[in-house]
Amino acid sequence: MSTQETSTGTARNDGTGGGLLSGLVPQPAIQASNMVRGDDLEGKVALVTGGSNGIGAGVARRLASGGARLVLADVDDAAGEKLAGELDATYVHCDVSRLEDNEAAVATAVERYGRLDLAFLNAGISSGCGVGEDFDLRRYRLAMGVNLDGVVFGVHAALPALLAAGGGTIVATASMAGIVGIPSDPIYAANKHAVVGLVRTLGQDLQSRGVRVQALCPSFADTAILGEGKAVLEQLGFPVLEVSDVVETFMRLLDSEGTGECWFVIPGRESQPFAFRRAPGPRA
Ligand SMILES: NC(=O)c1ccc[n+]([C@@H]2O[C@H](COP(=O)([O-])OP(=O)(O)OC[C@H]3O[C@@H](n4cnc5c(N)ncnc54)[C@H](O)[C@@H]3O)[C@@H](O)[C@H]2O)c1
């Protein structure tokens, strides 16, 4: 038995948490799947976290042009309010690292537009620190809070509303850094790998309940998150995606019927689900 002190108390592997297999509880299956398709967005309702800028704003514009009703959830209030005004959408201040903010954002979608069909859990930040002498506990917690908690909390908050709508779609923005290591930001790589693991697991798990869960995994894209890294990439001649490339893959992913997939977006390559190798199973 292992015991450890955590910031929230004492945690033990003594079975009180249910154990690793406790999730193996049969879920009630629902028959009708509420598939959100790019050519049928009229009347659909979407939540977009990190929707004030960059990839989130690009996807929000595309969804709104197809007739979807949107709730943009972000901490950049000025940009979010402005975009919401342009798109006839609703902006809510939402720090995705806070569970109650995620729940309030979903409640806004349901109260304002009557339902939720699509949750695009996209807010994300770089960590700005490493794990050696450059470790910074505050930055670490912040990056894990936004990039991992933000997706877990977003799924938890959105699920009841998606199920009430007869099913729906969750798309999380992970990254290519969720599939390969990225030495410049190991903490970012760790939380994006965690998002990939979550999506691969939930994709299977929620399928029988009519909820698809997919991940978007872009390579470097031209948004504010690159910061000074953009100049470095340019110096190296490393190709950088436009936001429109990522939006295009988002729409293809939406139209795919898959679940638990991680769609890569890489300059010069056709986007598709990354083919993970089959892991070896036990031999009897
Ligand atoms: N641009 C890239 O190179 C790249 C590559 C792979 C993955 N991604 C991922 O794409 C997603 C979107 O990032 P982007 O590239 O558009 O960058 P961006 O900085 O333009 O957009 C990120 C958005 O998230 C918001 N945000 C930050 N903290 C938040 C919080 N606590 N709660 C709610 N919103 C918050 C920001 O205000 C901003 O609007 C992120 O998850 C990022 O990790 C980006």
31-266 adopts what CATH topology? Rossmann fold (3.40.50)
* Complete DSSP assignment for the chain: --EEEETTEEEE-SSTT--TTTT--PPPP-S------TT--TT-EEEEETTTSHHHHHHHHHHHHTT-EEEEEES-HHHHHHHHHHHT-EEEE--TTSHHHHHHHHHHHHHHHS---EEEE---------SSTT--HHHHHHHHIIIIIHHHHHHHHHHHHHHHTT-EEEEEE--GGGTS--TT-HHHHHHHHHHHHHHHHHHHHTGGGTEEEEEEEESSBSSGGGTTHHHHHHHHT---B-HHHHHHHHHHHHHS---S-EEEE-TTS--EE--PPPPPPPP-
Whether 113 is catalytic is no
Ranking 32-41, 188-197, 207-216, 259-268 by mean pLDDT, the lowest is 32-41
Please write the tens of the pLDDT for every residue from 55-65. Answer: 999 999 999 99
Q: What is the pLDDT of residue 25?
A: 57
Q: Which of 48, 49, 55 has the most ligand 1 atoms within 8 A of CB, as the residue to mutate?
A: 55
Q: What is the pLDDT of residue 30?
A: 42
User: Which residue lies with its CA nearest to atom 40 of ligand 1?
Assistant: 124
Residues 174-188 have a mean pLDDT of: 96
Atom of ligand 1 nearest to the CA of 97: 31
CA of 253 to the centre of ligand 1 (A): 19
CA of 129 to the centre of ligand 1 (A): 17
Atom of ligand 1 nearest to the CA of 176: 6
Q: What is the pLDDT of residue 3?
A: 46
Structure confidence at residue 218 as a pLDDT band (50, 70, 90): very high
Please write the tens of the pLDDT for every residue from 114-155. Answer: 999 999 999 999 999 999 999 999 999 999 999 999 999 999
Q: What is the pLDDT of residue 19?
A: 75
**Ligand 1 contact, 95 CB (< 6 A):** yes
